[in-house]
């Protein structure tokens, strides 16, 4: 009919398992380094509730599964009762506004240093090969890492159990589900990628062996909280923290098919064009489409999307949902801005990772504030 507003694909409803989403714009998990003593802080209540819309999906920033999982200062954990209690008011604030909230559970592996490890021990990994200093995605900070210690085969079940307990704790905190962090060069990604994993036991060598540990984590977490509450983030094409694979398409397809067998709720994939954090290469010859077709659950893409890119991806069935990081960081009312095709606030990289509880965190203006 004449006068009807055009349909905006990103703002159409979607049913993700048992969750009825009102739109397809997802808050990506974003480390912000605003927490102290591994515990979520009250100022996060405002940060997350600002970015909540009724029926919108938010994924919380990485929460460490144990005291060996940490990598950066002022990041949260979810392995103690105190941490669980600190998450509760944040989760409640999102739920009070009708949002759906998942907790990303994480182990950094070798992307860490002595200062974040218990008793000054070496970080753990699939290997004893270290990582060169890296520039953070704010383009400013340089992070240096301690050479890791190779996990012994008999130690791996304990790490799997840490993921399981973290998922249980997330449910206790009130989250709607968990996202297993299997991307960005962290522990699970280290096991999957053959340019890092140099093991000769059942967790190294073949593709099946390299994916064994991540899939055992998926199985343990699924058994604990149910497949309908489990997602995973993967970046098979990336080289974050010197973590690459010689055949990323094969790796992505293997994981997609395996996750489908577990009935995993969603697979959150980082675009091949995002080779390193914060940098986009639109000339990448790779595509997530074959992986999207191989996975039976909800598919989420992330990596340098804007409004037009996201709408195009949904219309062309390249994805179900699109996760936004930096744009959502700077625009707490991003779905409304996309609806109106309104101008966007510019993000400030210099305030991505600071301890300030307000500046660059909760002070980005809403549309009604920016006139």
Whether the Cβ atoms of residue 316 and residue 310 lie closer than 8 Å to each other: no
Residue from 47, 72, 186, 203 carrying the catalytic annotation = 186
* Residue found by looking up tokens 């993967």 in the block: 234
224 conformational bin, left if phi > 0, alpha if psi -120 to 50, beta if neither = alpha
Do residues 267 and 232 make contact, with C-beta atoms less than 8 angstroms apart?
yes
Q: Which one, of 87, 123, 86, lies nearest residue 107 by Cα?
A: 123
Q: Nearest-CA neighbor of 33 among 368, 360, 371, 364?
A: 360
**Does the annotation count 186 as an active-site position?**
yes
Q: How far apart are alpha carbons 212 and 228 in whole angstroms?
A: 21
- Asked whether the beta carbons of 155 and 161 are under 8 A apart, the reply is no
Beta bridge partners of 270: 302
Query: What six digits make up the tokens of 77?
Result: 């954990």
Name the residue among 260, 198, 253, 263 with its Cα closest to residue 229.
263
User: What's the length of the chain?
Assistant: 371
What ranges in 182-325 are assigned the alpha helix state H? 187-192, 207-210, 212-225, 248-262, 289-294, 307-315
Residues near 91 by beta carbon (within 8 Å), at least 6 away in sequence: 101, 173, 174, 175
Q: In angstroms, rounded to a whole number, what is the distance separating the alpha carbons of residues 233 and 179?
A: 7
Beta strand segments in the chain, E = 14-16, 19-21, 25-27, 57-64, 100-106, 124-125, 134-135, 142-143, 149-150, 177-182, 230-234, 266-270, 298-302, 321-324
Count of C-beta atoms within a 10 Å radius of residue 371: 5
Which residues carry out catalysis? Answer: 186
């Amino acid at each position: 009919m004449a006068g009807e507003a055009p349909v905006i694909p990103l703002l159409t409803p979607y049913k993700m398992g048992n969750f009825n989403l009102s739109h397809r714009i997802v808050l990506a998990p974003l480390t912000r380094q605003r927490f102290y003593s591994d515990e979520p802080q009250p100022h996060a209540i405002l940060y997350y509730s600002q970015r909540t819309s009724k029926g919108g999906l938010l994924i919380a920033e990485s929460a460490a599964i144990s005291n060996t999982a940490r990598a950066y200062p002022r990041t949260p954990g979810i392995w103690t009762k105190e941490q669980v209690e600190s998450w509760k008011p944040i989760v409640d604030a999102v739920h009070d506004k009708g949002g759906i909230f998942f907790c990303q559970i994480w182990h950094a592996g070798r992307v860490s240093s002595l200062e974040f490890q218990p008793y000054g021990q070496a970080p753990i990994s699939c290997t004893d090969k270290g990582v060169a200093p890296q520039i953070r995605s704010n383009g400013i900070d340089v992070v240096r890492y301690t050479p890791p210690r190779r996990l012994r085969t008999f130690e791996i079940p304990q790490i799997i159990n840490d993921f399981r307990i973290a998922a249980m704790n997330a449910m206790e905190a009130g989250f709607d589900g968990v996202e297993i962090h299997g991307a960005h060069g962290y522990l699970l990604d280290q096991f999957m990628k053959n340019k890092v994993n140099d093991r000769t036991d059942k967790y190294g060598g073949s593709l099946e062996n390299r994916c064994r540990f991540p899939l055992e984590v998926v199985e343990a977490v699924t058994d604990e909280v149910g497949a309908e509450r489990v997602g995973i983030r993967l970046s098979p094409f990336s080289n974050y923290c010197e973590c690459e694979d010689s055949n990323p398409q094969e790796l992505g397809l293997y994981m997609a098919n395996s996750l489908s067998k577990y009935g995993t709720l969603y697979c959150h994939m980082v675009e091949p064009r995002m080779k390193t954090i914060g940098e986009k290469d639109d000339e990448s010859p790779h595509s997530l489409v074959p992986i999207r077709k191989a996975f039976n659950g909800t598919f989420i893409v992330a990596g340098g999307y804007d409004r037009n890119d996201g709408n195009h991806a949904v219309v062309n069935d390249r994805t179900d949902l699109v996760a936004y990081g930096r744009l959502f960081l700077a625009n707490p009312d991003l779905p409304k801005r996309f609806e109106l095709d309104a101008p966007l606030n510019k993000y400030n990289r210099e305030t991505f990772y600071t301890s300030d509880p307000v500046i660059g965190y909760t002070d980005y203006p809403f549309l009604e504030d920016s006139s």
